[in-house]
Amino acid sequence: MKVEMDDIDDLTICDSVSSLIEGCRLPVHMTGTNDWPLAEIISIKDVASSKYYYVHYVDFNKRLDEWVTEESLDTRKVHFPRKDTGGCSTGVSTPKKLQIGGGSGSVACPASGGGGGGGGGGGSGIIAASGGVANLPSGGGVVSRPASPVNNVELLNGNAVLAAALQKRINRKRKGPSLESEDSQDAPQGLTPGPRQSGSMVSHHDDIVTRMKNIELIELGKHRIKPWYFAPYPQEMVNLDCIYICEFCLKYRKSRKCLERHLAKCNLRHPPGNEIYRKDNISFFEIDGRKNKVYAQNLCLLAKLFLDHKTLYYDTDPFLFYIMTVLDIRGFHIVGYFSKEKESTEDYNVACILTMPPYQRKGYGKLLIEFSYELSKFEGKTGSPEKPLSDLGLLSYRSYWAQTILEILLSMKPIGENEKPQITINEICELTSIKKEDVISTLQNLNLINYYKGQYIITLSKETIESQLKAMESRKIRIDPKCLHWTPKDWGKRAKW
In angstroms, the CA 76 to CA 20 distance is: 12
Using a 10 angstrom Cβ sphere, with 0-12 exposed, 13-18 middle and 19 or more buried, the burial of residue 6 is middle
Long-range Cβ pairs for the range 451-459 (8 Å, 24+): 458/409, 458/423
Short-list 253, 262, 263, CA closest to 298: 253
In angstroms, the CA 98 to CA 152 distance is: 9
> In angstroms, how far is the first alpha carbon of the chain from the final one?
55
In angstroms, the CA 487 to CA 490 distance is: 10
489: CB partners within 8 A, 6+ apart: 342
Q: Is 430 a catalytic residue?
A: no
What angle, 0 to 180 degrees and rounded to 10, lies between the N-to-C axes of helices 425-432 and 391-411? 110
Residue 91 CA, chain-centre distance (Å), reads 33
Using a 10 angstrom Cβ sphere, with 0-12 exposed, 13-18 middle and 19 or more buried, the burial of residue 18 is exposed
DSSP string, 200-219: GG----S-TTTTS-----EE
Q: Which of 71, 386, 427, 437 is catalytic?
A: 386
DSSP string, 450-484: EEETTEEEE---HHHHHHHHHHHHH------GGGB
φ, ψ for residue 239, nearest 5 deg: -85, 0
Query: Do the beta carbons of residue 132 and residue 111 sit within 8 Å?
Result: yes
474: CB partners within 8 A, 6+ apart: 124
Residue positions counted in the chain: 497
In angstroms, the CA 292 to CA 314 distance is: 12
Catalytic residues: 386
